Amino acid sequence: MKVDYPYMKTIVEFNSGIITTAAVIHILNLILLFIDKAQYTQNIKI
């Protein structure tokens, strides 16, 4: 078990890193989508 523990720890850290990265990308995509919609509605008003 002691041999496997560091390996398992790196897998957990790696997975949490992927989840964090995916969450950040998702939030950025939502922000960009919101900005695009705002610009689109402004163009219609003009």
3-state SS, the chain, equals CCCHHHHHHHHHHHHHHHHHHHHHHHHHHHHHHHHHHHHHHHHHHC
Report the pLDDT value the prediction gives residue 22, as an integer from 0 to 100: 93
Report the pLDDT value the prediction gives residue 46, as an integer from 0 to 100: 53
Maximum pairwise Cα distance, the chain: 67
Alpha-carbon distances of 1 from 11, 13, 24, 31, 41, rounded to whole Å: 15, 18, 34, 44, 59
pLDDT in tens, 1-46: 465 677 778 888 888 889 899 999 999 999 999 988 888 777 766 5
User: How far apart, in whole angstroms, are the C-alpha atoms of residue 22 and residue 25?
Assistant: 5
Report the pLDDT value the prediction gives residue 14, as an integer from 0 to 100: 86
pTM: 0.55
Report the pLDDT value the prediction gives residue 2, as an integer from 0 to 100: 60
Report the pLDDT value the prediction gives residue 11, as an integer from 0 to 100: 80
